[in-house]
Amino acid sequence: MLSIESTILPSFHAYIIPNFISCRSGYSDLNASGDRIKQVALVAALVELAFAGYAFVGFKPDASSQFGFDYAWISSLGIRFSAGIDGISVLLVVLTGLLVPFIILSTFNRSYARPSLFYALMLYMQAALMGVFTARDGFLFYFFFEAALIPIYFLAAMWGGANRISVTFKFFIYTIFGSLFMLLALVYLYYQTPATAVSAHSAAIIDFYKLNLTPEAETWVFWAFFIAFAIKMPVFPFHTWQPDTYVESPTPATMLLAGIMLKMGVYGLIRFILPIVPLGVETWGNQL
The DSSP string of 57-99 is HH--SSSS-EEEEEEEEEGGGTEEEEEEE-TTTHHHHHHHHHH
Average pLDDT, the chain: 82
CA 126 to chain centre: 8
Q: What pLDDT is attached to residue 190?
A: 93
Q: What pLDDT is attached to residue 9?
A: 52
In tens, the pLDDT along 181-237 reads 999 999 999 999 887 667 788 889 999 999 888 888 999 999 999 999 988 877 787
Please return the burial class of 48, using the count of CB atoms within 10 Å of its CB with bins 0-12, 13-18 and 19+. Answer: buried
Biggest distance spanned by C-alpha atoms of the chain: 65
With b for 16 or more beta-carbon neighbours within 10 A and e for fewer, the 143-158 pattern comes to bbbbbbbebbbbbbbb
CA 86 to chain centre: 16
- What's 152-199 look like in SS3? HHHHHHHHCCCCHHHHHHHHHHHHHHHHHHHHHHHHHHHHHCCCCCCC
CA distance 87 to 85: 7
In tens, the pLDDT along 54-98 reads 988 888 888 778 888 888 888 888 888 999 998 889 999 999 999
Is the pLDDT higher at 139 or at 286? 139
DSSP, res 201: S
Q: What pLDDT is attached to residue 288?
A: 60
pLDDT at 32 over 50: no
CA 105 to chain centre: 21
Domain ranges of the chain: 2-287
Q: What pLDDT is attached to residue 237?
A: 78
pLDDT at 180 over 70: yes
Is the pLDDT higher at 97 or at 166? 97
Q: What pLDDT is attached to residue 22?
A: 47
Span of 3-7, 46-50, 193-197 with lowest mean pLDDT = 3-7
CB of 84 closer than 8 Å to CB of 134: yes
pLDDT at 25 over 70: no
